[in-house]
Amino acid sequence: MARTIKIDNALQKRFAKQAKKSKTRELVTYFLIVCEGEKTEPNYFKSFPKKVGKFIYDISFEGGGISTLKVVEKAIELRDNSKQKYDRVWAVFDRDSFKASSFNSAILKVKANNINCAWSNEAFELWYLLHFHNRITAMKRDEYKKAIEDAVNGKLNKKKKAFKYQKNDTGMYSLLNQIGNQTSAINWAKELAKSITGEQFANYNPQTMVFKLVEELNGKSQELNDELAKKYEDGQ
The pLDDT tens digits of the residues spanning 50-84 come to: 998 888 999 999 877 778 899 999 999 999 999 99
Single pTM value for the model: 0.86
Is 104 within a domain?
A: yes
Domain that holds residue 121: 26-233
Residue among 81, 78, 72 nearest 59 (CA):
78
What pLDDT does 236 receive?
60
Give the count of domains, the chain: 1
pLDDT 10s digit of each residue in the chain, 236 long?
Answer: 333 334 345 444 543 544 444 455 778 899 999 998 888 999 999 999 999 888 899 999 987 777 889 999 999 999 999 999 999 999 999 998 788 999 999 999 999 999 999 999 999 999 999 999 999 999 988 899 999 999 999 988 776 778 999 988 999 999 999 999 999 999 999 999 999 999 999 999 999 999 999 999 999 888 888 888 887 777 66
Is 3 within a domain?
A: no
Is 114 within a domain?
A: yes
Is 141 within a domain?
A: yes
